[in-house]
Structure 1
């Protein structure tokens, strides 16, 4: 139990240090990688929930599955929003029917 706690604390510390030093241009690829890791967590939760015969362990595995799924879906939604910020802007409805001018007064 103590070994698991030490590993958890070290992982939290290293993760915090790494994430605070990531440049802003790399946040989108980092989010995609985190979503992939969360997908692995979903598979692990399915395996953990299915391999036990104890009802409490099954419910804990189901809870882990729900939380990991929420994390994956939320991560993909945030990543999609971030990628849309880099895409082309759509024309506003007011400018669709407006005549094209070269910027000079007539």
Structure 2
């Protein structure tokens, strides 16, 4: 494929992805993030396999970069999912101050 064709596909994918994700209601974000995390895990495994079989130093460097980026994407997805799940949880009761409140001790 020509580079201009590849660039056109990437730009269109960015626009379509932005439009699709921005239209999703907040109740569906957590299940969609969980599914996306599963896909990112598969991408990470593929990047590790490619890095393990790389013979050319340039290919190895690109594969290791793919492993780093896929790992960051996977971890970030789990962090965002965890924060969204905290939003749906109830409020936690306030913690009492440190020290024994019954004896009147100060921390």
CA deviation after TM superposition for structure 1 residue 80, in Å: 0.8
For normalisation by structure 2, the TM-score amounts to 0.75
CA deviation after TM superposition for structure 1 residue 27, in Å: 1.5
Structure 1 CA distance, aligned partners of 2:83 and 2:71? 19
CA deviation after TM superposition for structure 1 residue 10, in Å: 2.6
Runs (5+) with no aligned partner, structure 2: 97-107
Runs (5+) with no aligned partner, structure 1: 95-106
Root-mean-square deviation (Å): 1.7
Match of 2:63 in 1: 61
Which of the numbers 6, 11, 14 marks the counterpart of 1:12? 14
Secondary structure of 2:44's partner? helix
Structure 1 CA distance, aligned partners of 2:45 and 2:7? 23
CA deviation after TM superposition for structure 1 residue 57, in Å: 0.8
Match of 1:31 in 2: 33
